[in-house]
Chain A
Amino acid sequence: MRQRSLIAITAALAAGALTLTACGSRDEDGGSSDSGNGGTTVVIGVDAPLTGDLSALGLGIKNSVDLAAKTANEKKYVEGITFKIEALDDQGQASVGQQNATKLVANDDVLGVVGPLNSSVGESMQKVFDSAKLVEVSPANTNPALTQGVNWQTEKVRPYKSYFRTATTDAIQGPFAAQYVYNDAKKKKVFVIDDKKTYGAGLASTFTEEFKKLGGKVVGTEHINPESKDFSAVATKVKNSGADVVYYGGEYPQAGPLSKQIKEAGAKIPLVGGDGIYSADFIKLAGAAGTGDLATSVGAPVEDLPSAKEFVANYEKAGYKEAYEAYGGYSYDSAWAIIEAVKKVVEDNDGKLPDDARAKVVDAMQNVSFDGVTGKVSFDEFGDATNKQLTVYSVKDGDWGTVKSGTFTG
């Protein structure tokens, strides 16, 4: 009898303790390893250079879109929808990008595409997507004409309703760079070089125009062949021009060697470029001589944004081999904008995708608004990002460091 009492007390205490433990841990989420959300599969296409010289930026775009799709699935963000990505390699070539656009349009499950990196590639894809009413959101295209028409300087006309971007345009980036170079860096004589491509030539042009208005002098201009890596002739011209700064409109695979060869020619002056040279690979290619070179890039540095902390941590946790690079945050936001638009379309149709889902997603995208990795994400009447931040970076101690940031509020 005594033993039975002791057993009863012990059992009661154990049960009590177990109950209390269970109470204490009620907020701990057991989670689920099932990332699927059942029901319908929606594919988010990705187009970027996944191989070749520009693959560092392209793979950062692809991985960031992948992370957005996985996050939406884990959160079951859109009831009944599982997101997948289909990533195609455009190799930085307009013709390949156009073929990829056709391929993505042919897949009925694709309801939106993130990409491309290059403005010239974006130009070649826009019509294909627009004819199919398939939404395209570029995290990196900066040429103003893509959203505001070829005559954007005199009359802004949106050419394609299905095209959006989260990146700021070169209509702001070029003048922003010119203001910094002239006013802050106190450089008054520039030698302007570009790669003749849509992005590079456009950016060099917006820079030059503002630099001259500020009172700066253009002491020389040159175009380079992006297929070449020998820029010694141009470097000599720069040296002989008396320029105190070089502005390069183009991308890092050429900008790195160009910077190095200019310094080797004896012109110890900084090379300045746009977001196309803002990559760790530029620093590798330019070598030690690249110290002091400058780049502007669209947006604020992702690492400094409180809204980006979760993205940075999740990207690391996901274990992607490649860095998210300059456009990671913007790619995640581009993909999430598509996810938000799909969510709106599904919710407005009693939880199912309508037959004309692509057209509905295009319409929904115009009104998307959410707090993303890069800040508030929404689009103006041209499909441009309403969040227009820019940052000047400088190469110091083998890395890019922030030197000035600005916000366009016009």
Chain B
Amino acid sequence: MSGIGPVEPGEGTRAQDASPPPRPRREALARLYGRHRGAALATLLAVAVLAGGGHLYATRPRPAPPPTPPHPTQVTLIRYLKPQANSRGTASRSFAFDVEMIVESDLPVTVTRISQPYAGLSVVSSPRTPFRTKAGSPRKITITMQVAECGKVPRNVGLPFLDVTLRNTRAIQAHSFILGPRYARDLSRGLEVACSNDFG
């Protein structure tokens, strides 16, 4: 009641009533739409379905890219098992023992080299390198040590290594497996017997 606000237009006061502007283009479009309403609606629906489908396709949940495979040393374990019976001899100056290799990865790991760090001692493995080991199937490896020079092997070390080079699709790595006190003791005994005639 304040009198503030838009004034309602009265009958016959509308601009279009006074002089309707010519709108041929709009009317032409409307006429066209009238004639082809079905087709237009169908086209619009098709566009909507395509747009929606495209959007859904673009934003569909995609499988994550395969994770980068782990380094071979992170998924490989080598454990000492036992010395091989009847494998020692002063004549051949060699002795053997078994280790077990376990791979905890979907990717197989290849052993390309097995060695030990002492001068005067060489190593041969069975199976011979290179060989592959798959996940879920522990592999027994027989390691034969051949003493070349008794003066160049330590007889009583605490934690001897077995150096192994491992390869998978990610990397090639050299790694030391410290097989523990049982291995240390059996290695010492093997060396003791092999060098008991004190040649070398």
Residues of B within 8 Å of A25, CB to CB, are: 59
Contact B157 A214 (CB under 8 A): yes
Contact B68 A306 (CB under 8 A): yes
A sample of 9 cross-chain residue pairs with beta-carbon separation below 8 angstroms, ordered by A number, consists of A16-B52, A24-B58, A179-B161, A215-B154, A404-B174, A405-B73, A408-B178, A409-B80, A409-B180
With both chains docked as a complex, state the minimum distance between the C-beta of A136 and any C-beta of chain B, in angstroms: 27
Any chain A CB within 8 A of the CB of B55?
yes
Residues of A within 8 Å of B61, CB to CB, are: 27
Contact B68 A2 (CB under 8 A): no
Residues of B within 8 Å of A176, CB to CB, are: 159, 176, 178
Known: A2-B30, A20-B52. A210 touches B179 (CB 8 A): no
Which of B41, B58, B177, B182 is the one whose CB lies under 8 Å from A406? B177
Describe B's contact surface by its main secondary structure.
mixed
Contact A304 B175 (CB under 8 A): no
Contact A175 B158 (CB under 8 A): yes
Contact B180 A408 (CB under 8 A): yes
Contact B70 A306 (CB under 8 A): yes
Contact B34 A209 (CB under 8 A): no
Known: A2-B30, A405-B73, A407-B73. A179 touches B160 (CB 8 A): yes
Residue of A nearest to B152 (CB): A215
Contact flags (1/0) for B141-184 with A, using CB distance below 8 Å? 00000000000001011111100000000000111111111110
Any chain A CB within 8 A of the CB of B117?
yes
Which of A17, A172, A300, A407 is the one whose CB lies under 8 Å from B52? A17
CA distance A305 to B70 in the complex (A): 8
Binding site for B on A (CB under 8 A): 2, 5, 9, 13, 16-17, 20-21, 23-25, 27, 172, 175-176, 179, 183-184, 209-210, 213-215, 300, 304-306, 375, 388, 390, 404-410
Question: Which of the listed residues A24, A176, A300 has the most CB atoms from chain B within 10 Å of its own CB?
Answer: A24
Known: A17-B51, A410-B182. A214 touches B154 (CB 8 A): yes
Residue of A nearest to B44 (CB): A9
Contact A23 B156 (CB under 8 A): no
Binding site for A on B (CB under 8 A): 30, 33-34, 37, 41, 44, 48, 51-52, 55-56, 58-61, 67-68, 70-71, 73-74, 77-80, 117-118, 154, 156-161, 173-183
Residues of B within 8 Å of A20, CB to CB, are: 51-52, 55-56
Question: Which of the listed residues B48, B56, B174 has the most CB atoms from chain A within 10 Å of its own CB?
Answer: B48
Contact A209 B117 (CB under 8 A): no
With both chains docked as a complex, state the minimum distance between the C-beta of A26 and any C-beta of chain B, in angstroms: 9
Contact B44 A13 (CB under 8 A): yes
Known: A306-B67, A408-B180, A410-B178. A209 touches B158 (CB 8 A): yes
Residues of B within 8 Å of A27, CB to CB, are: 61
Closest 10 CB pairs of A and B: A410-B180, A24-B59, A406-B176, A183-B117, A175-B159, A20-B52, A408-B178, A213-B157, A306-B70, A175-B158
Residues of B within 8 Å of A305, CB to CB, are: 74
CA distance A407 to B177 in the complex (A): 5
With both chains docked as a complex, state the minimum distance between the C-beta of A275 and any C-beta of chain B, in angstroms: 16
Known: A23-B56, A306-B70. A409 touches B78 (CB 8 A): yes
CA distance A388 to B175 in the complex (A): 13
Contact B55 A172 (CB under 8 A): no
With both chains docked as a complex, state the minimum distance between the C-beta of B9 and any C-beta of chain A, in angstroms: 20
CA distance A32 to B181 in the complex (A): 52
CA distance A305 to B80 in the complex (A): 25
CA distance A408 to B178 in the complex (A): 4
Residues of B within 8 Å of A300, CB to CB, are: 73-74
With both chains docked as a complex, state the minimum distance between the C-beta of B174 and any C-beta of chain A, in angstroms: 7
